[in-house]
Amino acid sequence: MRRRSKAVKRGRGRSGRRRVPLLELAHARSGDKGDTANVGLIALKPEYYPILVKQVTAARVARHFKGMVKGPVERFELPNLGALNFLLHGALDGGGTISLKTDAQGKVLSTALLRLEIELPR
């Protein structure tokens, strides 16, 4: 609840700006490699890609997943595919067979990332 109150409500950002969930600009697929989850984030339209590059930084993603990811977050760019690839280290409670999580393989961290709010010009 605390998290929500901090966020600016959708549609009412700084003057002349509006906030939308990343879901409206991108799609994603995620998976695992040991205790590291990867989230591939893909722009729904080519013109959205620069917005993703600018706003969906490794630091922002690390803040977004605070409490869920123990290690660092790395970001790689694939401009040819309009995609960013994030590695979330220490995201899976040990990963694979060790993990006690429902999502031991990080399969739905994809849509968890799409909850992030993006600022757009009005």
Partner 1 sequence: MTAQRASLSPTVRIAAGQGFWGDWLEAPYRQVTGGPIDYLMMDYLAEVTMSIMQKQKSRDPSLGYATDFVPLMERILPTLAERGIKVTANAGGVNPRACAEAVAAAARALGLAGKLKIGILTGDDLLGRLDGLLARGHQLRNLDTGRPLRDVRDRVLSANAYLGAWPVVEALRRDADIVITGRVTDTGLTLAPMIHAFGWRPDDWDLLAAGTVAGHTIECGAQCSGGNCLVEWQRIPDLANVGYPIVAAHPDGTFEITKHAGTGGRITVAGVTEQLVYEMGNPAEYITPDCVADFTTIRLAQAGKDRVRVSGVRGRPATDKLKVSIAYSYGYKAVGSLVYAWPDAYKKAKAADRVLRQRLKDLGLGFEAMLSEFVGADATHGPLALASAPLGELPEVQLRIGVRSPDRAAVERFTREIAPLILNGPPSVTGFAGGRPKPEQIVAYWPALVDKRMVEPCVEIVDV
Which residues here bind partner 1, judged by CB under 8 A? 1, 3-4, 27-36, 38, 40-42, 44, 64-65, 67-68, 76-83, 85, 87, 93-98, 100-103, 108, 110-112, 115
The SS3 of residue 6 is: helix
Nearer to partner 1, 51 or 69 (CB): 69
Q: How far apart are CA 36 and CA 16, in angstroms?
A: 38
- Based on CB atoms, which residue is closest to partner 1, 24 or 121? 24
Q: In what order do the strands lie in the sheet with 26-33?
A: 26-33, 36-43, 83-88, 73-78
Minimal distance, residue 121 CB to partner 1, in Å: 24
Identify the helix (H) or strand (E) that includes residue 97.
none
Using left for φ > 0, alpha for ψ between -120 and 50, and beta otherwise, residue 78 falls in: beta
Min dist CB 4 to partner 1, Å, is 5
- To partner 1, the closest distance from the beta carbon of 1 in angstroms equals 6
Nearer to partner 1, 67 or 121 (CB): 67
Minimal distance, residue 97 CB to partner 1, in Å: 5
The pair of three-digit structure tokens given for residue 38, joined into one six-digit string = 């990867």
Structure tokens at 59: 């630091």
